[in-house]
Amino acid sequence: MQLTNRSKNVVNKKMSFAERIYLVAIAKGMWITLKHFFRKNNTYNYPDTQRTYAPVYRGWHVLKRDANGAERCTACGLCAVACPAEAITMTAAERERGEEKLYREEKYAAVYEINMLRCIFCGLCEEACPKEAIFLTDRIVPSDYVRQGFIFGKDMLVEGVEPEKRVDVSVRQKHIQEKKQAAAAAQ
């Protein structure tokens, strides 16, 4: 059964002399090439020029700190269980006395790793997070030469304490809240 008319039957008939010298075919092909010189460019010269992203773009994850600079993540494991690609692993540890400024809750993630090669950037981890700790940002995951370089530990994920090193996720946060409210209203 023919679903489209794009397929063409192959005929093995002998070519005529005009066809055999290929002059017409070459001219046709060159005309197509010439047309493309005057077309608008479809590509960007990254990184000199960058395209604009959607404000809710899902890229490189960030582990947020709270207003006092303490890590929000408590290693509850809900992001890992929600992850369809099983990209997230973590090891929890108990907060010692005197570390209250570093970690918000009594448990924290001593190791938190996301395998960026596995990650499909679906955003289910940030929806699962009960502590508003993990967010996907509009930053692009940097390239690397070895696979090991794509396993991002806490050094690549946790944002800095200083105000200028904080990662702004307010747009994404609002988007997730609206999504959750819409889901709750639908129920």
Beta carbons of 66 and 72 less than 8 angstroms apart: yes
In angstroms, what is the minimal distance from the CB of 154 to another protein?
17
Beta carbons of 154 and 146 less than 8 angstroms apart: no
Is the CB of 146 or the CB of 182 nearer to another protein? 182
Among the candidate windows 69-77, 119-127, 148-156, 167-175, which touches another protein by CB under 8 A? 69-77
DSSP 150-164: GEE-HHHHBPPSSGG
In angstroms, what is the minimal distance from the CB of 78 to another protein?
7
**Single-letter residue type at 76:** C
Please state, in angstroms and rounded to a whole number, the distance separating the CA atoms of residues 15 and 19. Answer: 6
76 near another protein (CB under 8 A): yes
77 near another protein (CB under 8 A): yes
Sheet holding 88-94, edge to edge: 88-94, 107-115, 151-152
131 near another protein (CB under 8 A): yes
78 near another protein (CB under 8 A): yes
Token digits of residue 96: 């010692």
**Single-letter residue type at 17:** F
Among the candidate windows 8-16, 26-34, 68-76, 147-155, which touches another protein by CB under 8 A? 68-76
Fill in the per-residue mask, 91 to 110: x = in contact with another protein (CB under 8 A), - = not in contact.
-xxx----------xxx---
Q: Which residues pair with 111 in a beta bridge?
A: 91
| Sites of contact with another protein (CB under 8 A) | 74-78, 80-81, 86, 92-94, 105-107, 130-131, 184
